Structure 1
Amino acid sequence: MTTPPPPVPNGPGYGFPQQPGGGGFGPPPGLPTAPAPGPGRSGNLRRNAVWAFVGAVTVSVGWAAAVMAVPGLVSSDSSPRDLRGYHLSDDFCATGKPTRLLQTYSVSDTSKPTHHTDRHPALDSMNCSMSLKRTGGTGDGESATLYMRADLHKAVNPAPELAANKELYRARGYQVTDIAGLGEEAYFLYKDDGSDQYHSVYAELDIRDGGMTYYVTYSAGYTEGKGKPPTKEELRTALQSDGQDTVRAMRK
């Protein structure tokens, strides 16, 4: 007859609590007691433990190989995306020069363009702001403001935020047009908002490609009968052309 092993002390996190009435350690009443190992069982248990360990290692190695081969197995909507060769420049006004829009406007000679570049382990960013005036124009509605920004998201996936931004603008009455062929996704926003005879025009192009996001905004005001900014289609064409040139330049 095999003598059962002595009871294991009831240390923190292990075993069952001591039973009332001085019954010692053990499972609560009604729960089965694990049988003591008989002759030869300890060897089988050791062999089973070894094979369980080998199996766990094999599964882990297989999972690691699968993740390396198919990263999407563990990626999520918040996982960072590849930057696809996009990089910063020290002068985004030069990198993102709005060549097409400058066929209609010129840079104001009274307000020089401003630009700034920031580098951070989680997010790199660069922007440019410039004041424009209609070429040959002198009256109301002949000036505009252009703002450009590009971000390299290294810690998160910017796609959900870009999608949310589009829906928020749509809810506020902006006209939204999806544009194919620019990065993974792109859209154009437009609104001509007026009160009486005075109008404010806003146009924006947003592009996302992997972890890179870029947007350019145009804003101007005019009074009916005293000049008018370019039409919606003219602005879409100009911003789309300039945006395409800018994201291309960011990869050179």
Structure 2
Amino acid sequence: MPRPAPRGNLRRNAVWAFVGAVIVSVGWTAAVLTVPGLVSSESSPRGLRGYHLSDDFCTTAKPTRILQTYAVSDTTAPTHHTDRHPALDSMNCSMSLKRTGGDSEYANLYLRADLHKAVNPAPELEANKELYRARGYQVTTVPGLGEEAYFLYQDDGSDQYHSVYAELDVRDGGMTYYINFSAGYTEGKGKPPSEEELRSALRSDAQDAVRAMKK
């Protein structure tokens, strides 16, 4: 029958267990300070990487390429708004547009940028992309913009009337930006830019906006 360990051994074991725990704790703290990624999670903030707010996003993110085809409506002025919060800063711009060159076609353009300071926006952006895909939108990757970017497009029409929607979304660290275009037209009376023309125009305007938010 084994004898119980002497009290001295128990005391020494307890001391060494405590010392071991302290060493592990110190080692883990050093690792966290040296390699923060060890404790980052999918929801951890990703940093703003120099992006900042402006008080007039319509000016900061002026959609120059789109405005080569459309003019701002002379009856509805662009609107913009900027919000500041410890967890999330946001700015947006909304424009009513009219096709240049005498065409009667009208369109709407909306731009928005969010600076996520408390969470990682990547999972939400991914979910948004999948929701659009499930609703029948064409979703394609746009290389060379931020950490990730994608283009959404749908021409949803019946008979002669069509409703066109195009959007480009960008994420870079904790910054998310998107620009969306929508227009309705009747065949023979108006025609919006093609899918490729919209993709090219929105990409160019997104690239300019992302660059301007760092100036």
| TM-score between both structures, scaled by the size of structure 1 | 0.80
Task: Give the superposition deviation at 1:83.
Answer: 1.2
Partner of 1:202: 165
More strand by share: 2
Structure 2 letter corresponding to 1:59: V
Highest Rg: 1 or 2?
A: 1
Gap regions ≥5 residues in structure 2: none
Percent sequence identity over aligned pairs: 83
SS where residue 137 of structure 1 aligns? coil
Q: Distance in 2 between matches of 1:89 and 1:227?
A: 36
- Residue range with higher mean Cα deviation, 78-87 or 215-224: 78-87
Q: Is 1:132 paired with 2:97? A: yes
Partner of 1:66: 31
Summarize deviations over 1:133-164 as a string: whole Å, max 9, x none: 1112242xx21100000011111111111111
Specify which of 48, 57, 63 is matched with residue 92 of structure 1. Answer: 57
SS where residue 236 of structure 1 aligns? helix
Q: Distance in 1 between matches of 2:136 and 2:52?
A: 34
Gap regions ≥5 residues in structure 1: 1-33
Partner of 1:224: 187
User: Do the aligned residues in 1 keep the contact of 2:103 with 2:190 (CA within 8 Å)?
Assistant: no
Q: Distance in 2 between matches of 1:170 and 1:195?
A: 20
Q: Is 1:242 paired with 2:205? A: yes
Structure 2 letter corresponding to 1:90: D
Q: Distance in 2 between matches of 1:65 and 1:94?
A: 46
Partner of 1:185: 148
Q: How does 1:106-117 map to 2 (within 5 A)?
A: 106-117=71-82
Question: How many aligned positions are there?
Answer: 213
Task: Give the superposition deviation at 1:45.
Answer: 4.1
Structure 1 letter corresponding to 2:169: D
Specify which of 104, 119, 134 is matched with residue 171 of structure 1. Answer: 134
Point out which structure has higher relative CO (alpha carbons under 8 A, 6+ apart).
2
Q: How does 1:71-86 map to 2 (within 5 A)?
A: 71-86=36-51
Q: Distance in 2 between matches of 1:241 and 1:209?
A: 16
Q: Distance in 2 between matches of 1:172 and 1:229?
A: 22
SS where residue 111 of structure 2 aligns? strand
SS where residue 64 of structure 1 aligns? helix
Task: Give the superposition deviation at 1:46.
Answer: 4.0
More helix by share: 2
Partner of 1:5: none
Q: Distance in 1 between matches of 2:195 and 2:128?
A: 20
Q: Distance in 2 between matches of 1:137 and 1:49?
A: 88
SS where residue 110 of structure 1 aligns? coil
